[in-house]
Amino acid sequence: MHIAIIGTGYVGLVAGTCFADSGNDVTCVDIDARKIAQLQRGEVPIYEPGLEELIRKNTRDRRLSFTTDLAAAVAPAQVVFIAVGTPEGESGEADLQYVLAAAEQVGRAMRHYTVVVDKSTVPVGTADKVRETISRVTQVEFDVVSNPEFLKEGAAMDDFFKPDRVVIGAESERARKIMGQLYAPFVRTENPILYMDTRSAELTKYAANAMLATRISFMNDMAALCEKVGADVDFVRKGMGADKRIGYPFLFPGVGYGGSCFPKDVKALVAKGRELGMELDLLRAVERTNERQKRLLVNKALKHFGSLDGRTFAVWGLAFKPKTDDMREAPSIEVIEGLLAKGAKVVAHDPVAERTARRVFGDRIRYTPVPYEALEGADGLFVVTEWNEFRHPDFERMKALMKSPVILDGRNIYDPSRMQEMGFAYMGLGRRQ
């Protein structure tokens, strides 16, 4: 099939590359000429394992191309994916201006029957608005489909090639058939394609992310309760996860969730409820728990040191999760801003997110390419992102480098008893010290 992808952000790039790798002719479009030139050279503006190699392969084989010319990309396309940003509005709602602007341009450029797919995360009713927008500018026949993405940053390629499920919201059998053909190579192991109406598909994305965010915030509340009663959240987590109705995924306490999806989608769902006269109290509590959690490590440091003024702290991990350089809503931002506000100095290390961090913090903090360099003369270490290379460090070397052997473990990756045996003052989340 000929496919056009409007938007070369995280979702657009991954989807376009994977569709091209399954034999389709894909053109990715963006208004940012600098980014398009970068992609044409085989340089990828985001970090995602395996993506750069696959972009170069499919560009070389002429199945994947990049352009700023939307009309030229849309004219031959059978399917057009809208994968532009939906930033958070003033009240938490998703801002649809870019989606609707792209829809209008797509409508003007269509020359034959086209399936227009909302791939961006959009609130309920967006497909109707996209349909109305396109209908105003063209007489060409088309269908609008909602096809939300369920990609985990750091594992997006596997998620696309081997999805748990594909959700397709379509109102016509013709559109359903085309989308089924497009996704057939990715569901050969019998993982389901779930066909539904567009509004149900739109809500499915928000509901899934809100449920996962709720699990994280619930466990963070349990961790706080464990500290109050003298229990250990790791035992509690294992006891809960063994229940097949619950399971283990997303039951790990930490310094809060971040990224491009959970924070924005929870806010958008709360805003949608409020727009309809409903208060989604559970999700409002999820948000409050998450914001509290991001401040927790700095509060623990204040309790331990008394004052942070003039002290130097190492921070391991800047991205919101491992295997990505994404720092949108990352807990590290709240942690570092909290330390700086208390007069502390920060030396940070992340395997891939330093470039992103420099755009956030500039020269207000110091960066090191090696994690141990951040520890030299440090009063304490904050572990904020659970990169694999942080899990089994040389603790004796760490203790020798640090001014005071204090570890504030925001991901509970170290064993408290071992840390104490080795002479560290260790503070985890909900762990029996």
Q: Does 2-196 match 223-427 in CATH topology?
A: yes
Task: Label residue 87 by pLDDT band (50, 70, 90).
Answer: confident
Residue 60 annotated in ligand binding: no
Residue 88 annotated in ligand binding: no
Q: Is the pLDDT of residue 417 over 80?
A: yes
Provide mean pLDDT across the span 404-414.
97
Residue ranges per structural domain of the chain: 2-196, 223-427
8 A C-beta contact, residue 96 and residue 102: no
Q: Is the pLDDT of residue 121 over 90?
A: no
What kind of architecture, by CATH, is found in domain 223-427?
3-Layer(aba) Sandwich (3.40)
Q: Is the pLDDT of residue 379 over 90?
A: yes
User: Which of 18, 28, 226, 261 is labelled catalytic?
Assistant: 261
Residue 379 annotated in ligand binding: no
Residue 150 annotated in ligand binding: yes
Task: Label residue 103 by pLDDT band (50, 70, 90).
Answer: very high
- pLDDT tens digit sequence for 228-268: 999 999 999 999 999 999 999 999 999 999 988 899 999 99
8 A C-beta contact, residue 381 and residue 411: no
Closest CA to 154 of 261, 247, 62, 76: 261
Task: Label residue 92 by pLDDT band (50, 70, 90).
Answer: confident
Residue 427's H or E segment, with its range, is: strand 425-427
Residue 65's H or E segment, with its range, is: strand 64-67
Which CATH topology does 2-196 take? Answer: Rossmann fold (3.40.50)
Compute the CA torsion angle 36, 38, 39, 42 (nearest 10 deg): 160
Known active-site residue 28: no
